[in-house]
Structure 1
Amino acid sequence: MIHNNLDAALEAAGVTSAAHGTLNRQAKAQAKSAYQGMLQRFFNHLITSMQTPAVIASIARDLAAGHASVVQIVSTGEAMQERRLAEIPADQWNDVSVDITPRDGVLSYLQHSFPVQLYEPFTDGEGNLSSRPVHDEEGNPVVNREAVRRRDDMIERLAALPPVPGALDQIVQHFGTEMVAEVTGRSRRVVPKKADDGSIRFAVENRPASAALHETDAFQSDVKRILVFSEAGGTGRSYHADLGAVNQRRRVHYLLEAGWKADAAIQGFGRTNRTNQKQPPLFRPVSTDVKAQKRFISTIARRLDSLGAITRGQRQTGGQNMFRPEDNLESWYARDALRQLYVLLARGKIEGCSLARFEAATGLSLLDSDGGLKDELPGINVFLNRMLALTVAMQNLLFEAFEGLLTARIEQAQASGSYEVGLETLQAESFRIVGRAPIYTHPGTGAQTALLTIERKDRLTPLSLADALAQAETSGAKLLVNGKTGKAAIQRRARSVTDDDGAIFPRVRLVWPLTDSVIPAEMLVASQWEEADRPTFSAAWSAELDSLPSHETSTLHMVSGLLLPIWKLLPDESTRVYRLQSDDGERIIGRRVSPAWAARIANDDGPVRLSGEDAMAMLMSGESSLMLAQNQKLQRVRAMNDWRIELTGFNDLGVERLKSMGLISEIVSWKLKLYVPTGAVGVGVLEGLLDRFPIERVQARQAA
């Protein structure tokens, strides 16, 4: 509503012209900047206030369970409160009726910053048509009646809307000051007071400068079990379950409002999670299903990622794993997805939203005067800001298409190994260095670069039957059993992806005891998966759990030591850098390389020699394929929902000989397939096959 009236008011006031475009760029920029700043503040406060009732209900459950609740916010609404109290005589502060709501910020903007001053056109010395502000004889600005009318109409409509109290006031007024410790910078607040007859009135309460200290002591002494803190009031304080404090209850830390400062958000988490504590806190970031809220989540996710990369050298520590890659809507992947969304809108490929409807709702223009797509399209921040003012239905429609494009790009990058995630720390139950081969020695310093072969041991943590059945209770989930293999899986919903032509491809997620995978919905229909009843599913799931070993052993290869002199000589399939600590305490940082590259280096680029066990491990990892004599190839494939080793390129005259060596034949889609067994006899069969058909080349299949 406001941005459409804003454009009309700017034209009526003479700042812009339908025939001549912008006449006063400075005035237009100031009006747009004031509007966008107000818009972000308003929706941030509004969404935070709207999700507060759910937080209050959760806090009540925490208190019933014996926990202590800590709520982290940024905005206290003090500025709005002070403006409203200034309008009320001091002798009425003992019984006030005042609404402190995010709506006040919008009304204040309309009253003081909405463009109503009249501008007159003139021609400058170079013959350019511009406009300048008009003043009367006494120097007072002259207003435009049409702009004033539009402003007053909007004020009247917005003032009639019901108020939404701020988050801090909702919590304090619901639980009362006897239960809530407020550690903020507010010098006074409006609190409920109970009269002798049981009625509730609201009064202004002054708070001394030492209020934050006393409130913190009351919380740590277990006098008050709820604490709300902001950046202004929480500097240097600790709210953890200290062993020296009376209140050693478990802290449930709600991130109700993250704000824009990543370092402040991280510091806030640290206030309830310190050393010498009885028990760690439970963190609960709070969000809604309003798509435009991603405007705020995106900024904090990006800044947390950057903070982690700068301060600790690894991205996953920055956001504490609270955010997914697709939560950062300011990445290169998001920018590419947004441009493609604009292309689809211009082509009319977004069902339910035409280009005209999009431009009318957002105020954005995508086409130039010739009808083609503009070279300079609105950026991601402008797009996200405009989403804030749309209806929820329109937000969902546009974000569904945008997120489908974004998800497709991120998954493609992750599958190819090109998704940039910074320095990663590998974790496992055991890392044992079983091979160390020098591959470069610096002539000046003697520093070496080594190819390390590391045996990795991971404890398997399969999904229990109880957890699997709990997942199956979610909306859209189904219990499945494969008609051929007899294995069980859970079908769950998955986000659809959108290709560059706007076609939407539905997908489903299949969950197995050890892993999950997203596949096209049409592939599931054509497979052997069938819906099963609860007993059949439980029997199949339990049988697979019983057959799983406790640990899984694999091999990885890393180039460590002096890397810069030979960086360009390393394989360009991936430049990802990892670090780990071996069982004997050695800390290793280096580039992970594929088994194919490691095998080639180990054999000085000559014929590759691998044992049957090493070859099986290399193939089952899926990172390499083996090129054998007579143009034959061994590689891992997915067949009947299981990983198998397939031999391709064989001569039809040699099928019987290969079968006699132990290979398994199957007819798939009317085509003969040969597989190397992956069970206990698989290594022996593979050794015999490699003796008959030696390895000619190891080929990398994916990035390390």
Structure 2
Amino acid sequence: MFDAAGNAVHCQAALFARDALIEQLCSLPAIPTALDALIWHFGADRLAEITGRSRRIIPGPDGQQKLDRRSPKANVVETKAFMDAAKPICAFSLAGSTGRSMHSDRNSPSAHLRRVHFLVELGFRLLSAVQGFGRSNRTNQATSPIYRPLTTDCRGERRFLSTIIRGLEALGALTRGQRQTGGQNLFDPADNLESDHAREALNQWFHLLHAGKLGSVSLAAFEEMTGLELATESGELSERLPPIHRWLNRILALRIGTQNAIFDEFMGLVENRVEAARAAGTLDLGIETIRAERVERLSDQLLRADPITGAETRLLRLELHRRPRVTSWAQLQIETRGIENLAYLRNGRSERVALRIPAWSSMDEEGRLIPMCYLVRPGGSARVTIDSLADSHWIDIERDNFQTLWEREVAETESQLSVETIHVATGLLLPVWNKLPEDDVRVWRIDGGDGASILGRIIRPAAIEKLEREFGLGSTVVLSPVEILEGARSGDGIAVPGWGETRLISVFVNGTRRLEIRNFRIEDRDQLKAAGAFSEVIQYRTRLFLPSNRARDILEALIDLRA
């Protein structure tokens, strides 16, 4: 405002607030870099710095800052101190780490210490990340490192992590023909924000935004903040929506609170698709490994021989003797380090234990967030809703009691040895890929522990009949009763050996799951019932079922009758 003479009149309260703010800002300490923060926290006597810096500020004995000049040989001395375990922590940059090795070399005094490699300030440069990984993961190492890519609580920063993941997967596909060669399955599939699952999730997010079902932001506000046009002049959702990389870049320009809210919704949709693909066996992780104590080859059948090269496609029947993979208490502590809001649970019915870890919320079709969590157990993990957990038998217990029960369950699980029979299509697969079942397209490497491995696709029991028809083999593969039951429960039905066209299939009857015998001959009905099957007349048709608690014994008896 102005006075009568036209001079500006300043608000004294505003001037006082401005001066107070400037005084407060000038009194704040300088924000240190990540490297300086590490040195001040751990101390220069415990942290080995391997960088290109010739001078640095470090805390002196009296706690005051002092200038430390570093000679050209400082990196050599610091590397030796870390490898000799004189300094337990190492921080290195691309400029200072060239030619250095920080892995758990078998010849170094620190070989027994497993490296936990934290990747700070990801950036977009894939080669820098790969070279950094190579410092701590090299030949002649006692143990492989654990990688920890770091991001802040700003959700948009996951965009940089996604770039590294996509690049590592592409690098693996180019160098070895399998995606996890570069990434080594370091990241969860949901971390790749430029995958097909993420693109589908983004498309659904756009539709929910257009329908006004999201709580993070409205359509008009999002278009104004990002400059992206999602709706046409008539109000309909545009057919040419922005690609995911452009959407991710625009998200970075939003306020942190808005970023986090949007990413919570988006990641919930991504997790839903990844979990669904994982459950259906269609989640493409590249080549996965099955490790067994012993692998016995029960049968070996030729499916196809290439007419030019002579390369063969074979169907193997293998018996795997496996010990379950378990997570020790020490490994659990490493994997959950830095994670907040952990809960130690025990099941009041089974007496088993599980660690509850926060997870991304899921989202239903109406845009409502569903709080989720992971239950980590010694033999695996599962993603469940918070509501279902509250209605279950899981209860909180003390950490010390949890550790005792966890270690006891690990010991019990490790002592178990399971025997499993599988069928594997191996050899030259690409020419016959379209003839193989589509229910599980994953490629597995089966390691028998003797240095030899088998690479191929696992064929489920329910798909054996289709495979035999595709290759004109006839009924040559004999399945065990366990495999027949597994195939009946997971497929479209499976033949019962020796009983002609009779098939066993899983069906719903009166709201319950049953095993039904179909296509049986009328003259075989009494014999089937005598073996243990029971009949019901449903809609004027007689149907035969196997009791679920005795299905295996009855099936074995039926096979023996016609053997």
TM-score, normalised with respect to structure 1 = 0.60
Q: Find out whether 1:580 has 2:446 as its counterpart.
A: yes
2:553 equivalent in structure 1: 684
Q: Tell me if the contact between 1:559 and 1:590 (Cα under 8 Å) persists in the aligned partners.
A: yes
Q: Please say which structure displays the higher CA radius of gyration.
A: 1
| Structure 1 counterpart of 2:363, from 498, 505, 527 | 498
Give the secondary structure class of the aligned counterpart of 1:213.
Answer: helix
2:531 equivalent in structure 1: 661
| Structure 1 counterpart of 2:425, from 545, 559, 564 | 559
- Unmatched segments (≥5 aa) in structure 1: 1-155, 667-671, 696-704
2:31 equivalent in structure 1: 164
Q: Tell me if the contact between 2:50 and 2:97 (Cα under 8 Å) persists in the aligned partners.
A: yes
Equivalence map 1:262-301=2 (5 Å): 262-276=126-140, 283-301=147-165
Per the TM alignment, residue 167 of structure 1 is displaced from its structure 2 partner at its CA by 0.8
2:48 equivalent in structure 1: 181
Per the TM alignment, residue 587 of structure 1 is displaced from its structure 2 partner at its CA by 3.8
2:299 equivalent in structure 1: 435
Equivalence map 1:472-621=2 (5 Å): 475=342, 479-481=346-348, 492=356, 495-505=360-370, 514=379, 516-518=381-383, 529-530=392-393, 550-582=416-448, 586-601=452-467, 604=472, 606=474, 610=478, 612-613=480-481, 615-616=483-484, 618-619=486-487
Equivalence map 1:96-107=2 (5 Å): none
Equivalence map 1:394-473=2 (5 Å): 394-461=258-325
Question: For 1:635 and 1:683, how far apart are their aligned partners in 2?
Answer: 14
User: Which residue identity lines up with residue 531 of structure 2 in the other structure?
Assistant: M
Question: For 1:656 and 1:675, how far apart are their aligned partners in 2?
Answer: 14
390-399 or 498-507: which moved more? 498-507
CA deviations on 1:450-509 (whole Å, 9 max, x unpaired) are 2111112221356799999xx9x9656754455xxx686759566443244424455566
Question: For 2:248 and 2:201, how far apart are their aligned partners in 1?
Answer: 13
Question: For 1:613 and 1:300, how far apart are their aligned partners in 2?
Answer: 47
CA deviations on 1:328-369 (whole Å, 9 max, x unpaired) are 111122122112212211221102422233334444442233
2:79 equivalent in structure 1: 216
User: Which residue identity lines up with residue 423 of structure 1 in the other structure?
Assistant: I
User: Which residue identity lines up with residue 323 of structure 1 in the other structure?
Assistant: F
Q: Tell me if the contact between 2:319 and 2:422 (Cα under 8 Å) persists in the aligned partners.
A: yes
Question: For 1:237 and 1:607, how far apart are their aligned partners in 2?
Answer: 60
Per the TM alignment, residue 635 of structure 1 is displaced from its structure 2 partner at its CA by 3.6
1:634 equivalent in structure 2: 505
Q: Tell me if the contact between 1:619 and 1:635 (Cα under 8 Å) persists in the aligned partners.
A: no
Greater relative CO, 1 or 2 (CA 8 Å, sep 6+): 1
Q: Tell me if the contact between 1:359 and 1:365 (Cα under 8 Å) persists in the aligned partners.
A: yes
1:230 equivalent in structure 2: 93
Question: For 1:584 and 1:256, how far apart are their aligned partners in 2?
Answer: 35
Distance 1:221 1:411, change over 3 A: closer
Distance 1:534 1:449, change over 3 A: same
Equivalence map 1:273-422=2 (5 Å): 273-276=137-140, 283-422=147-286
CA deviations on 1:582-611 (whole Å, 9 max, x unpaired) are 567654333333323334555856568745
Question: For 2:55 and 2:354, how far apart are their aligned partners in 1?
Answer: 54
CA deviations on 1:367-391 (whole Å, 9 max, x unpaired) are 2334333344333233333333444
392-401 or 283-292: which moved more? 283-292
2:516 equivalent in structure 1: 647
Distance 1:282 1:397, change over 3 A: closer
Distance 1:416 1:565, change over 3 A: same
1:240 equivalent in structure 2: 103
Q: Tell me if the contact between 1:494 and 1:507 (Cα under 8 Å) persists in the aligned partners.
A: yes
Give the secondary structure class of the aligned counterpart of 2:95.
Answer: coil
1:145 equivalent in structure 2: none
CA deviations on 1:64-100 (whole Å, 9 max, x unpaired) are xxxxxxxxxxxxxxxxxxxxxxxxxxxxxxxxxxxxx
Per the TM alignment, residue 327 of structure 1 is displaced from its structure 2 partner at its CA by 0.5
Per the TM alignment, residue 558 of structure 1 is displaced from its structure 2 partner at its CA by 2.0
Per the TM alignment, residue 231 of structure 1 is displaced from its structure 2 partner at its CA by 0.9
1:255 equivalent in structure 2: 118
Q: Tell me if the contact between 2:115 and 2:144 (Cα under 8 Å) persists in the aligned partners.
A: no
CA deviations on 1:90-139 (whole Å, 9 max, x unpaired) are xxxxxxxxxxxxxxxxxxxxxxxxxxxxxxxxxxxxxxxxxxxxxxxxxx
Question: For 2:212 and 2:184, how far apart are their aligned partners in 1?
Answer: 40
Q: Tell me if the contact between 2:323 and 2:414 (Cα under 8 Å) persists in the aligned partners.
A: no
392-401 or 502-511: which moved more? 502-511
Distance 1:550 1:439, change over 3 A: same
1:89 equivalent in structure 2: none
CA deviations on 1:428-453 (whole Å, 9 max, x unpaired) are 22222211111223334444322111
473-482 or 263-272: which moved more? 473-482
Distance 1:488 1:622, change over 3 A: farther
Give the secondary structure class of the aligned counterpart of 2:445.
Answer: strand
Give the secondary structure class of the aligned counterpart of 1:165.
Answer: coil
Give the secondary structure class of the aligned counterpart of 1:421.
Answer: coil
User: Which residue identity lines up with residue 330 of structure 1 in the other structure?
Assistant: E
CA deviations on 1:643-697 (whole Å, 9 max, x unpaired) are 997337799x99998776346999xxxxx9965456xx754311335678x99xx
Question: For 1:487 and 1:634, how far apart are their aligned partners in 2?
Answer: 35
Equivalence map 1:8-27=2 (5 Å): none
Q: Tell me if the contact between 1:644 and 1:676 (Cα under 8 Å) persists in the aligned partners.
A: no
Question: For 1:477 and 1:224, how far apart are their aligned partners in 2?
Answer: 34
Question: For 1:524 and 1:475, how far apart are their aligned partners in 2?
Answer: 14
Question: For 1:505 and 1:627, how far apart are their aligned partners in 2?
Answer: 42
Question: For 1:441 and 1:499, how far apart are their aligned partners in 2?
Answer: 49
Question: For 2:36 and 2:55, how far apart are their aligned partners in 1?
Answer: 12
Q: Tell me if the contact between 1:581 and 1:587 (Cα under 8 Å) persists in the aligned partners.
A: yes
How many percent identity over aligned positions?
36
Q: Tell me if the contact between 2:485 and 2:552 (Cα under 8 Å) persists in the aligned partners.
A: no
Aligned residues: 514
1:100 equivalent in structure 2: none
Question: For 1:240 and 1:520, how far apart are their aligned partners in 2?
Answer: 40
Q: Tell me if the contact between 1:664 and 1:677 (Cα under 8 Å) persists in the aligned partners.
A: no
CA deviations on 1:38-65 (whole Å, 9 max, x unpaired) are xxxxxxxxxxxxxxxxxxxxxxxxxxxx
- Unmatched segments (≥5 aa) in structure 2: 1-21, 537-542
Question: For 2:206 and 2:23, how far apart are their aligned partners in 1?
Answer: 33
User: Which residue identity lines up with residue 221 of structure 2 in the other structure?
Assistant: R
User: Which residue identity lines up with residue 646 of structure 1 in the other structure?
Assistant: L
Give the secondary structure class of the aligned counterpart of 2:183.
Answer: coil
Q: Tell me if the contact between 2:435 and 2:467 (Cα under 8 Å) persists in the aligned partners.
A: no
TM-score, normalised with respect to structure 2 = 0.73
Question: For 1:585 and 1:245, how far apart are their aligned partners in 2?
Answer: 27
Per the TM alignment, residue 313 of structure 1 is displaced from its structure 2 partner at its CA by 3.3
Give the secondary structure class of the aligned counterpart of 2:209.
Answer: helix
Q: Tell me if the contact between 1:646 and 1:674 (Cα under 8 Å) persists in the aligned partners.
A: yes
Q: Tell me if the contact between 1:620 and 1:636 (Cα under 8 Å) persists in the aligned partners.
A: no
Question: For 2:148 and 2:264, how far apart are their aligned partners in 1?
Answer: 25
